[in-house]
Structure 1
Amino acid sequence: MTTIWQHLKEITINSFNSLGLAWWVEITTQNPRCTYYFGPFLSSAEAKVAIKGYLEDLESEGAQGIGINVKRCKPENLTIADDLGERLDRKVKPAFSGQM
């Protein structure tokens, strides 16, 4: 059940994201050569808290050479598979969906 506060947070995140002010976790992997964007988040602190889960998922899939960067940005594609020259688009979900 969505509370009024969760709804207001989602509106705020969407507004920040549309202005390029939201925080994103950018994870690059060397094998496979990919760049992943996870977010958006209202603060860098919220983004940093979420990193552990993303790393666990990528490591369980066998990703190697992982680099992490938390930054304000507005990614056009959420997954970029450099090895294949592909840009895969995942649907953007609010940062708090399923993470709280």
Structure 2
Amino acid sequence: MSPLIRPLRSLANGFGVAWWSRVQTSGPDVTYWFGPFITRKGLESELSAFLDDVKSEQPQSISHSLLRTRRSEPLTISAEG
């Protein structure tokens, strides 16, 4: 990975033009944010590995959406608090 990628991702996120995936599960009810990415294609190329990791926790259901937004911590939000 180029040493410029991390600062570019941070800059894109700061301006609200970075690509993120919001992954929501039920049983347990958790929202995960995966990103930031500079391009949608970059996000899509990495997303399947992240979804496989989430699926290993065996949620009852899982859904995801791709968004262009600004995001900060927390990147994992549990409905339980």
How would you bin the TM-score normalised by the shorter chain?
0.7 to 0.9
1:81 is aligned to 78
Greater gyration radius:
1
TM-score (norm 2): 0.88
Percent identical: 30
2:58 is aligned to 62
Partner-residue secondary structure (3-state), 1:38: strand
TM-score (norm 1): 0.73
Gaps of 5+ in 2: none
> Runs (4+) of structure 1 moved beyond 3 Å?
none
Gaps of 5+ in 1: 87-100
Work out which of the residue numbers 6, 10, 26 in structure 2 matches 1:14.
10
Q: CA RMSD in A?
A: 1.4
Q: How many pairs align?
A: 80
